[in-house]
Amino acid sequence: MSVALLWVVTPHFEASTGTGFLVSVRKGNRLFDSSRIFSRDRNVPCKVRVMKRGKQKLSVSSLNAELDSSCIGASGLERGSKFSVLSSLVVTPADNLFMTSKQKVYDVVLKQAALLQRQLGTKEDIEVKPDFVLPGPLGLLDEAYERCREVCAEYAKTFYLGTLLMTPERRKAIWAIYVWCRRTDELVDGPNASHITPTALDRWETRLEDIFIVRPFDMLDAALSDTVSRFPIDIQPFRDMIEGMRMDLRKSRYKNFDELYLYCYYVAGTVGLMSVPVMGIAPESRATTESVYNAALALGIANQLTNILRDVGEDARRGRIYLPQDELAQSGLSEEDIFAGKVTEKWRHFMKKQIIRARKFFDEAENGVTELSSASRWPVWASLLLYRQILDEIEANDYNNFTRRAYVSKSKKILALPAAYFKSVIPPTRLPSPLVKA
């Protein structure tokens, strides 16, 4: 597996051509030469050395190698960047001040659904653009997607197997989105997290904007540039995920569920919104686009809540408590109880309520999976069933999520696959349902 290692001398850059990074990529009627990847300011050159590594297992640090240079800067020092942060959900007009997080996020869902409908006309139009014709022995874009595939296969084995069930165009797009999400998450959760500052995240956001105007920084970004030009994907969920990382930098406590919900939207609900335009809605579905987006959002929230409940002990050891403070207090629990990590009756009672809530989000998501295009349903069902089982495992561990990590065994994972398959062959509902247009 070859991984490009990039050293960036300044935040502006132009790739050197030393190592055969030299295939032109056709983008609609435009051609861009990926060996010469330009910064926003085309007059400011910056050297990027591209070095191929021999076949080796990808590691967290190899993924980060590329991130370090572009986000932290070669020295890891702040550079007083002039990059601006563009607005996303966080820009709240005065009359939004009293809205709950759910209402604010629902506004995003409505906007995303409207954008998708506007871009596609009708759902029957969902068709990806044809493949680019690439010169060279192995198209640069093919190589870019191949790297995304490798990262995905390495980091998310079960999920990767699920993507193999999708159509080739869709699976490539999901890999590219996955890699971008993973890298974004690594910024605050990876080995270099201590070097990450809000300015570094601003740079990452500038780099995201470049992806959307097809000026990718590296190969993995090039795959996403291609994906977002083929599918009707909007930038906002991506921006919002970066906002979630900012939140992670500045916040380690959540007053109530409203605050936590917003965090879960940023870091995981956004993944659902990014994925729907790729997964596609079944042409025969009678569900509204916004209801499908809402279900996708619910699956992201459910996954993240599950993740938080599974990792209570691990997070506490990093000084983080994602659980709503007011609900902890209502159950007679304090921060000290979390740090002490003792499973008490109060804790069990608190956890039972949290699990009920997470399951409700999974239930909400279920209705939407059936409305997805047929080839996308199996992997989504599989991921839903597998992630939901983590909640069962927490129960099976008698709610000891302080010192025991709930995980789904291989045999249970294998059993979930046929179950997911049978669910996925159920066609979209033709009967009136809460998801169906009036």
Q: Of these, 147, 149, 170, 182, which contacts ligand LST6JFWI (CB under 6 A)?
A: 182
8-state DSSP, 195: G
Closer CB to ligand LST6JFWI, 307 or 344, in the complex: 307
Strand 24-27 and strand 4-8: the pairing is unpaired
Give 46: exposed, middle or buried? Use CB within 10 Å, 0-12, 13-18, 19+.
middle
Residue type, 367: N
Using CA atoms, how far apart are residues 142 and 134, in angstroms rounded to an integer? Answer: 9
**Is residue 300 a contact point for ligand LST6JFWI (CB under 6 A)?**
yes
> Does 372 engage in binding with ligand LST6JFWI (CB under 6 A)?
yes
The helix/strand/coil state of 400 is coil
Q: In the bound complex, what is the minimum distance in angstroms from residue 13's beta carbon to ligand LST6JFWI?
A: 25
The minimum distance between CB 33 and ligand LST6JFWI, in angstroms, equals 28
Left (φ > 0), alpha (ψ -120 to 50) or beta: where does 360 sit? alpha
Q: What is the dihedral of CA 78, 82, 83, 85, to 10 degrees?
A: 100
- Is residue 165 at the binding interface for ligand LST6JFWI, with CB under 6 A as the rule? no
Q: With binding defined as CB under 6 A, does residue 272 bind ligand LST6JFWI?
A: yes
**The two structure tokens encoding residue 250:** 């500045």
> Any bridge partners for residue 282, and if so which?
none
Q: Which residue has the tokens 């294998």?
A: 414
Nearer to ligand LST6JFWI, 182 or 239 (CB): 182
Task: Please choose, out of 10-18, 98-106, 207-215, 293-301, the segment that lies near ligand LST6JFWI by the rule CB under 6 A.
Answer: 293-301
Stretch that binds ligand LST6JFWI, among 14-22, 52-60, 193-201, 361-369 (CB under 6 A): 361-369
- Please select the residue that binds ligand LST6JFWI; options are 380, 391, 408, 420, rule is CB under 6 A: 380
Q: Report yes or no: 111 and 236 within 8 Å, Cβ to Cβ.
A: yes
Residue found by looking up tokens 């990792």 in the block: 311
Q: Closest approach of Cβ 371 to ligand LST6JFWI, in Å?
A: 7
Helices (H), 13-167: 60-67, 101-120, 140-155, 157-163
Question: Among residues 141, 268, 328, 435, which is the contact residue for ligand LST6JFWI, using CB under 6 A?
Answer: 268
Residues at the interface with ligand LST6JFWI (CB under 6 A) = 156, 159, 162, 174, 177-178, 181-182, 185, 267-268, 271-272, 275-276, 279, 292, 295-296, 299-300, 303-304, 307, 365, 368-369, 372, 379-380, 383
